Amino acid sequence: MTSVVERLSGPRPVFSVEFFPPRDAADEQRLWLAIRQLEGCEPAFMSVTYGAGGSSRDRTIRTTGRVVQETSLLPMAHLTAVNHSVAELRNVIGWYAAVGVHNVLAVRGDPPGDPNGEWIRHPNGLTYAEELVALVRELGDFCVGVAAFPYGHPRSTDLDGDTENLVRKFRAGASFAIAQLFFEAEDFLRLRDRMAKRGCDAPLLPGILPLTTVRTLHKTVELSGAPVPPSIARRLEPLADDPKAFRAEGIDVVTELAQRLIDEGVPGVHFYTFNMSKATTEVVGRLGLLPARA
């Protein structure tokens, strides 16, 4: 078994990619085109999200299994506690193990329908991500990752408390974390510093979404919970009505961000692809992370 942590421990920084499960046949075709194109770039690992509220569980499982069977990629399975009993979670974890998936991202997940709504535990389920981490580790030889929040989890009251929650996930058995979206390198680096202050030096990957359209900029605001910094707004907002120029400047912005983080020693960069390959391939190429060709 190859683990994500092993892929992150090499002499050079790496990159990884994340996809959404397909909603229909057309989505499936787009997804697999992107997977095949990025496979040639040799990412350290890839993942398929679980969908809001665990809504796409079956499609996620099916796609992850197909990646194992049909590609050379190292898959990381997503798993959430939303709407799942412990018995159901055990079945999913067992299925992943049976098809050869031994890397899992364990997140509590958002309430279905409204990500900011009240969290309601399944009557026979789990309440916290650290419990899900412990369950996965209990059931087999898994390398478990967790989510980290540069600006704090939406339900956390302060950054110190949020960092303590993250450290508890590592104490429960997690081996690495992937940071949710953020805008500036310092936002990520301060999170890493807070971890280090608590004696936690586990690998922490920045999560980055290529800013190719106004929509992706708005999506970053939505998913990060932070407004666009003035320094980035000055570069991108004047180009909102010029898609080509916006895309070019957006690629520059995220390339500069990723390069700064690589210079600061991150072991890798995790790209949210939106099931497209071109922008991620461009950024990875500019960062010098593509495989050497004979």
Domains defined along the chain, listed by start: 4-286 (3.20.20.220)
pLDDT band of residue 114 (cuts 50, 70, 90) is: low
The pLDDT score that the predictor gives to residue 138 is 94
Give the residue-averaged pLDDT of 6-22.
92
The pLDDT score that the predictor gives to residue 104 is 95
pLDDT at 284 over 70: yes
Q: Distance (Å, rounded) from C-alpha 166 to C-alpha 183?
A: 20
Can you tell me whether residue 149 is helix, strand or coil?
coil
pLDDT at 289 over 90: yes
- Write out pLDDT tens, residues 216-227: 999 999 888 899
pTM assigned to the model: 0.93
Q: Distance (Å, rounded) from C-alpha 86 to C-alpha 104?
A: 16
pLDDT band of residue 153 (cuts 50, 70, 90) is: confident
Give the residue-averaged pLDDT of 150-178.
91
DSSP state of 120: -
Instruction: Provide the percentage of residues in the chain whose pLDDT is more than 90.
Output: 69
pLDDT at 53 over 60: no
Q: Distance (Å, rounded) from C-alpha 178 to C-alpha 103?
A: 13
pLDDT at 55 over 70: no
Instruction: Provide the percentage of residues in the chain whose pLDDT is more than 70.
Output: 93
The pLDDT score that the predictor gives to residue 294 is 42
The pLDDT score that the predictor gives to residue 59 is 76
The pLDDT score that the predictor gives to residue 101 is 93
pLDDT at 42 over 60: yes
The pLDDT score that the predictor gives to residue 119 is 65
Is 18 designated active site? yes
pLDDT at 68 over 60: yes
For residues 177 and 270, the answer to whether their CB atoms sit within 8 Å is no
The catalytic residue among 18, 70, 131, 222 is 18
pLDDT at 54 over 60: no
pLDDT at 93 over 50: yes
Q: Is 152 left (phi over 0), alpha (psi -120 to 50) or beta?
A: left
Q: Distance (Å, rounded) from C-alpha 185 to C-alpha 174?
A: 24
Unique residue bearing structure tokens 């980035």: 232
The more confidently predicted of residues 26 and 7 is: 7
Task: Look over the chain and give the mean of its residue pLDDT values, rounded to a whole number.
Answer: 90
For residues 253 and 211, the answer to whether their CB atoms sit within 8 Å is yes
